[in-house]
Copies of this chain bind each other. A is one copy, B any other.
Amino acid sequence: MESFFSPHSIVLFGASSNEQKSGNHVLRNILNYTKENVYLIHPKEDDIYGIKCYKSIFEIPVKNIDLGIIVLPVGLVLETINSCIKFGIKSIIVESATLYLKANDKDNQNLEKIREIKELLKQKKVRIMGPNSIGVYCANQDKNSFITSLIYFKRLPKLKKKNLSIIAQTGLTLSGLLLHQNYIQELGIAKIASIGNKFDINETDILDYLENDSQTDVIALYLEDIKEGKRFLSQCKRIVKKKPIIMLKSGKTEKGRKAIASHTQSLAGDYKMVEALSRQVGIINVNDFSEMFNVAKVLLNQPRPKGRNLGVISISGAGTVLASDLASEFGFDLPSLKTEQIKNLRKIFPKFAWDDIYNPLDIWAAVEKVGPQQAYEKAGKILLEQNEYDYLVYYLTAIEETEFNWQVLTKFNAKYPETAIIMGFFGGDRKLILKWREILEENLNIPTFQSISEMFKILSKISLLK
A residues at B contact (CB < 8 Å): 20, 22, 74, 97, 102, 104, 151, 168-172, 175-180, 182-184, 222, 224, 250-256, 258-260, 262-264, 287-291, 315-329, 334, 352-353, 355-356, 358, 360, 362, 365, 368, 397-399, 401, 425-431, 450-454
Contact = CB atoms under 8 A, between A and B. Distances in A.
Identical chains bound together, number: 2
Nearest to A169: B318
Nearest to A287: B453
A292 to B, nearest CB: 11
A439 to B, nearest CB: 15
Contacts of A329: 252-253
A428 to B, nearest CB: 4
A211 to B, nearest CB: 25
Given A222-B318, A429-B182, A328 B255 contact: yes
B325 A251 contact: yes
A314 to B, nearest CB: 10
Contacts of A328: 252-256
B104 A431 contact: no
Contacts of A368: 22
14 contacts: A151-B399, A172-B397, A176-B426, A176-B427, A183-B430, A251-B321, A251-B325, A252-B328, A255-B325, A256-B322, A262-B355, A263-B320, A263-B362, A290-B450
Contact of A452 (B177, B254, B288): B288
A396 to B, nearest CB: 8
Contacts of A254: 328
A317 B22 contact: no
A253 B325 contact: yes
Contacts of A397: 172, 175-176, 179
A321 B250 contact: yes
A427 B321 contact: no
A356 B262 contact: yes
